[in-house]
Homo-oligomer: A and B are copies of this chain.
Amino acid sequence: MKQASSNYTPMSNIFADRLSDVPKSFIREILKVAIDKEVISFAGGLPNRDLFPINDLKKAAEIVFEKVGPDALQYSNSEGLVELRKFISNRYKQKFDLDIPVEEILITSGSQQGLDLLGKTFLNEGDDIIIEEPGYLGAIQAFSVYKSRFNPVKINEPGMDLEALKHVFLGRNPKLIYMVPNFQNPSGMSYSDENRKEIASLLVSRNLFLIEDDPYGDLRYTGLQKISFKQLLPDQTIMLGSFSKTVVPGFRLGWIVAPKHIYEKLLIAKQASDLHTNQFAQCVLAEYLAMGGFNAHVENIRRVYNIQREAMIESIKTHFPKGVHFTQPEGGMFLWVTLPHNLSSMKLFDIAIKNKVAFVPGHPFYIGKSETNTLRLNFSSVDKETIEIGIRRLGDALRTMLEVG
């Protein structure tokens, strides 16, 4: 037995081990640099605030105060508001012809909580999990807390690298595989239907769940809707969804779809985490959705973001030097740039900031890398004209860098 110290001393060893592996949000640090009003920032991951349906939400809130009253402000159930879950179920039916019972839909405090609950429910220390490379930083943070072992598998258009995926299974038995198959954050890449089918056939016989995270699925600007993994692997797929990109992020409203025996575990984890999601925001959102303007609203977001996406692609073609590769996403909010000659995107960042333009260097999206030749550009939160100026500045920074060597 260790002796308790007799004098008060700084408590260095008192923390749980689990937080030591969680990457600090590098993006937060970058956003601080980008706060200078003169800096054009492609660093954020924010939806365009000018598109928030403020007037309709205001109307919905008024109706909730009048019609629902105290029930919208009281403690509530952990599963979430049934009207909201019905809306989500109906939408899966319309979009994918999927029959998802309301009993398999759990409302979460944003998609990030969905990731945390899945980590809590599935991951023991050292358990293997497959993630994409590059991968979504929020997922890396959430799963790091549970001290799982990451197995990154490269993604390239048209999707996940199948040979690399097979290779993981040679030595390990991962419990989970995490994917953002539509307009991925950070890369903007999407998986083709064929790639999805091949992945499904690889996973079907295994003791493993696939997490299909789809925050951007409604933001498709071109090309055809792809098949959902839930259609391919109904018993093994857990879906995550969010209203952050289609309505507003400030409400922190997302959901998990999980088979019943998983759902029961997730519900215990949810109760232990925050009892239930903000009831008032759930009621306001449900009222807003009942008002019927959601589809037209999403259509408008698509129209505007597509203009910005096209402006960014065209500006890059005009202003970037040769040898710089970039993705041309069919939807979402991000575009992924690969520099030639393995140039460092961190070095580019320093030059770019002097030129008053910001982005996110790629390395936080990898496991255990401190430098890469990749970077993420966001096009959802900056208008067309500003995109053109910003990309020109970034092109100048690239040329400065190539000249210096």
Residues of A within 8 A of B (CB): 1-2, 4-11, 14-19, 22, 24-25, 28, 45-47, 49-50, 52, 54, 57-58, 61-62, 65, 69-76, 109-110, 112-113, 116, 120-125, 127, 138, 141-142, 144-146, 169, 171-173, 175, 204-209, 235-236, 244, 248-252, 261, 265, 268-269, 271-281
Contact = CB atoms under 8 A, between A and B. Distances in A.
A9 B207 contact: yes
A65 B58 contact: yes
Given A19-B269, A73-B251, 15 more contacts: A5-B205, A16-B127, A22-B268, A22-B269, A49-B71, A52-B74, A61-B65, A73-B250, A75-B249, A120-B145, A138-B275, A142-B272, A250-B279, A251-B279, A252-B277
A218 to B, nearest CB: 18
A5 B121 CA distance: 21
B274 A116 contact: yes
A121 B15 contact: yes
A275 to B, nearest CB: 5
A343 to B, nearest CB: 30
Contacts of A261: 10
Contact of A5 (B54, B207, B278): B207
A278 to B, nearest CB: 5
B11 A265 contact: no
A205 to B, nearest CB: 6
Contacts of A145: 120, 269, 272
A374 to B, nearest CB: 23
A121 B15 CA distance: 6
A215 to B, nearest CB: 12
B248 A276 contact: no
Nearest to A31: B77
Given A16-B122, A61-B65, A145-B269, A249 B109 contact: no
A49 B25 contact: no
Given A16-B122, A17-B124, A251 B278 contact: yes
A9 to B, nearest CB: 7
B112 A274 contact: yes
Given A14-B122, A49-B70, A121-B16, A272 B207 contact: no
B50 A70 contact: yes
Nearest to A252: B278
